[in-house]
Amino acid sequence: MRDLTKKCACGRPAILLRRYEGRYYCDHCLSKQIEKSFKKTTGKNHLIKKNDKICIALSGGKDSSSLLYLFWKVFRQRRDLKIFALIIDEGIGNYRKECIKEAEKLCKKLGIKLYKTSFKKELGITIDKVAKKTSKTCTYCGVFKRYLLNKKARELGATKLAVAHNLDDEAQAIIMNVIRCDLKRFERLGPIPGVIRDKKFVPRIKPLRQIHEKELYLYAATNSLPFCSKECPYSHDNVRRDVRKLINDLEEKYPGTKIQIVKFYDAIIKKLAIQKKGKLGHCKKCGEPTNQEICKACELLERLKNTKKD
Ligand SMILES: [Zn+2]
Ligand SMILES: [Zn+2]
C-alpha cells in the first residue's frame, strides 16, 4: 500500500480521503474531480444536445445548488444553450421558504433566471394538509413533484430537465427497487430516466449520478455556494432510511460499493436494452403524459379528496 499523508498530491492540505482510491484530495483538486465527473457523465451519455434549453430542478439544498453551479461553470460559454432554474414550494411549514431564499441568492450570484411555483398554486394542496390525511407523505410529495416539474419545465420551453440525484440516491433507488421487485421503476433509473418520446414529456437528466453525496457537500461548501441544509420534517421513509444505512455500512467496510452498484445497474440495463421501449399516453383528466388512463398525480389528488380527515 502507498504511504498516505494528509496532504493532497498537489501539496495542499487535504479535506477528503477517497477510500476507494486511497487518495487524499484538497478543495481545489476535489472540485476539479467533480467537474470532470460532471463532464464525463454528460458527455458519455449525450445528456446535452445543441440548442438545448435546460431547466434545472432546484431545491435550495447542496446537491441541486452544486448542479446549477456546475452547469454555469461548464456550459456558460455555450451560446446555443439556455439554462434556467425552477423551484417548487411543497407547502411544508417554512421549510422550503428558507431554502428558496438560498436558491434565490445563488441564482442572483450566477445571473440565472429562477422560476417559482407551488403545490398550492398548481394543485390546490399543501404537503402539510396531505400529511394530515395520510402517512405516506413522501409518496404523494414525490409524485406531485415529478408531475409539476415536468409540466412547468415544458411550459417554460425546456428540452431537458436536470435533476440533482447523486450517487447515493441512485444506489439507494436501485436497491429499493430490487427489494420491492419493481421492474417498471427499475427500468426508469439511469442517467436519462425514462427516455420516452412524447411531446409532453421533458427528458430528465442526472449529471450527478456518479458523484458521492459527501463530495457534493464539500463541493458546495468549498465553492461558497448558498444552500440550506435543513431536512424535510416529513422525511422518515423507513425503507429508504434503512437502505441508506445498509449501503453506507457496506461502503465503510468495502469502499467503492456505491459506484459498483450503479455500474452493475448500467451493465444490466444495457444488456436488457429495455430503456427506450416505453410509450406514453395522456391522462384523461389533465392531459399530462402517463402510461395509465389517469395519471398518478390525478389518482392521488382524487384519493385525498375522498379521504376524511382524522
Ligand atoms: Zn490538490
Ligand atoms: Zn392527470
Q: Relative to the alpha carbon of 9, which ligand is closest?
A: 1
Whether 80 maps to a domain, the answer reads yes
pLDDT of residue 87: 97
Residue 268: other Cβ atoms inside 10 A = 12
pLDDT above 70 as % of the chain:
93
Query: How far does the centroid of ligand 1 lie from the alpha carbon of residue 103, in Å?
Result: 29
Q: What angle (nearest 5°) sits at the alpha carbon of residue 224, between those of residues 222 and 227?
A: 110
Q: How far is CA 141 from each of CA 31, 168, 272, rounded to the nearest angstrom?
A: 32, 20, 31
Residue 10 lies in a domain: no
**For residue 185, what pLDDT is reported?**
81
Closest CA to 91 of 12, 171, 11, 145: 145
Q: Torsion over CA of 281, 287, 289 and 294, rounded to 10 degrees?
A: -70
Say which ligand is closest to the CA of 24.
1
CATH number where 112 lies: 3.40.50.620
pLDDT over threshold 90, residue 183: no
The range of the structural domain enclosing residue 61 comes to: 38-305
Asked if 209 and 41 touch (Cβ cutoff 8 Å), the reply is yes
What pLDDT sits at residue 275? 47
Q: Is 24 inside a domain boundary?
A: no
Q: Is residue 11 part of a domain?
A: no
CA of 283 to the centre of ligand 2 (A): 5
Ligand 1 midpoint to CA 10 (Å):
4
Least confident segment among 32-36, 53-57, 278-282 = 278-282
CA of 194 to the centre of ligand 2 (A): 18
What are 72-129's pLDDT values in tens digits? 999 999 999 999 999 999 999 888 888 999 999 999 999 999 999 999 999 999 999 9
Q: Is the pLDDT of residue 272 over 90?
A: no
Identify whether 9 is part of a domain: no
CA-closest candidate to residue 170, choices 184, 185, 160, 159: 185
Residue 277 has pLDDT above 60, yes or no: no
Per-residue pLDDT at 232: 85
Res. 193 pLDDT band, cuts 50 70 90? low
Element (H, E) at 116: strand 114-118
CA of 24 to the centre of ligand 1 (A): 8
| C-alpha 210 to ligand 1 mean position (Å) | 20
Whether 294 is covered by a domain: the verdict is yes
Residue 232 lies in a domain: yes
Let me know if residue 245 belongs to a domain.
yes
Structure confidence at residue 288 (pLDDT)? 93
Report the number of distinct structural domains present in the chain: 1
Closest CA to 58 of 140, 119, 149: 149
End-to-end CA distance of the chain: 61
Q: How far is the CA of 47 from the centre of ligand 2 (A)?
A: 28
> How confident is the model over 212-271, as pLDDT tens digits?
999 999 999 999 999 998 888 887 767 888 999 999 999 999 999 999 999 999 998 877
- Closest ligand to the CA of 12: 1
Task: Tell me the CA–centroid distance for residue 260 and ligand 1, in Å.
Answer: 25
Q: How far is 271 from 99, CA to CA, in rounded Å?
A: 40
What does the pLDDT average to over 182-202? 77
Distance 31 CA to ligand 2 centre (A): 41
Alpha helices in the chain (DSSP H): 27-44, 62-75, 95-110, 119-123, 127-133, 137-155, 167-180, 183-187, 213-222, 238-253, 257-272, 296-305
Task: Compute, in angstroms, the gap from residue 9 CA to the centroid of ligand 1.
Answer: 6
Could you say which ligand is closest to the alpha carbon of residue 298? 2
Distance CA 150, CA 154 (A): 6
User: Which residues neighbour ligand 1 (ion) by CB within 5 Å?
Assistant: 8, 10, 12, 26, 29
